């Protein structure tokens, strides 16, 4: 899974890559010589990847222990906010009761000029918050690193929103029918700005034709219980 989309993705320094490889081992054995047969920690590989690709020591230090807390996310948000304030970006963070934390900006709700394409502000987010944000969302919604798409399918079936024969491939086919997919060729030949422009154009076209992702049985995936299953299948089936 790609954890970030930096404008200039340079290879990690050799020493960092070696350190990240060591981190995978430490995370897998729980950092204890007596836990040789211990199960790998959930998301250990993703932690190591963020460590290897970290843009600075601040992010690297946070993920070095293989854990991520809401306090650390708030610290990352505070650093990002300082960066935004320094350049005059009208952005801020919002934390929800469910543990999610993320940026909002002037115009994000359709009121006032939209600041969503402030690239200097995006650089602040990439520097201090983006990789941690994606990792935090993975942990929050799927703490045991289970097959998330299978969890969604199980949730849809359990709520009678899909036939028992629904499989992950069928669900994936339904989910992407209206969405923009960034291919490897695009990533290799287009800048992030060009990709975002293409995605925006595609999205406008899908809105014009009223395209909505729909399961074979007729359930729309963008509303109600189906959307809840997609966003947080565990809480919808195990509470």
21 and 124 share one domain: yes
112 and 176 share one domain: no
- Of 87, 122, 141, which residue sits at a domain end? 141
> In this structure, are residues 198 and 180 in contact, taking their beta carbons and an 8 Å threshold?
yes
> In this structure, are residues 26 and 18 in contact, taking their beta carbons and an 8 Å threshold?
no
Mean pLDDT by 10 residues, the chain (239 residues): 40 38 42 56 93 96 95 97 93 90 79 72 94 94 94 96 95 89 87 88 84 91 93 84
Nearest to 124 by CA among 77, 60, 192, 179: 77
Domain residues for the domain of 76 are 14-141
Question: Is residue 197 in a domain?
Answer: yes
In the prediction, which pLDDT does 239 show?
A: 58
Nearest to 132 by CA among 172, 80, 73: 73
Taking the model in full, what pTM does it have? 0.67
125 and 186 share one domain: no
- Please tell me the total count of domains within the chain: 2
166 and 214 share one domain: yes
């Amino acid at each position: 899974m790609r954890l970030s989309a930096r404008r200039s993705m340079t290879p990690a320094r050799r020493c960092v890559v070696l350190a990240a490889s060591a981190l995978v081992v430490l995370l897998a054995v729980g950092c204890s010589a007596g836990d040789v047969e211990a199960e790998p920690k959930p998301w250990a590989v993703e932690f190591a990847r963020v460590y290897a690709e970290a843009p600075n020591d601040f992010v690297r230090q946070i993920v070095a222990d293989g854990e991520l807390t809401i306090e650390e996310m708030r610290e990352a948000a505070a650093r990002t906010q300082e960066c935004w304030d320094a350049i005059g970006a009208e952005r801020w963070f919002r934390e929800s009761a469910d543990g999610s934390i993320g940026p909002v900006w002037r115009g994000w709700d359709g009121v006032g000029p939209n600041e969503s394409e402030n690239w200097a502000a995006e650089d602040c987010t990439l520097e201090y918050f983006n990789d941690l944000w994606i990792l935090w969302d993975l942990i929050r919604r799927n703490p045991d690193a289970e097959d998330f798409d299978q969890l969604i399918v199980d949730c849809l079936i359990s709520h009678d929103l899909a036939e028992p024969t629904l499989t992950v491939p069928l669900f994936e086919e339904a989910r992407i029918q209206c969405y923009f997919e960034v291919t490897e060729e695009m990533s290799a030949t287009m800048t992030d700005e060009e990709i975002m422009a293409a995605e925006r154009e595609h999205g406008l076209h899908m809105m014009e034709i009223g395209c909505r992702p729909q399961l074979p049985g007729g359930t729309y995936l963008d509303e109600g219980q189906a959307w809840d299953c997609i966003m947080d299948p565990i809480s919808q089936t195990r509470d």
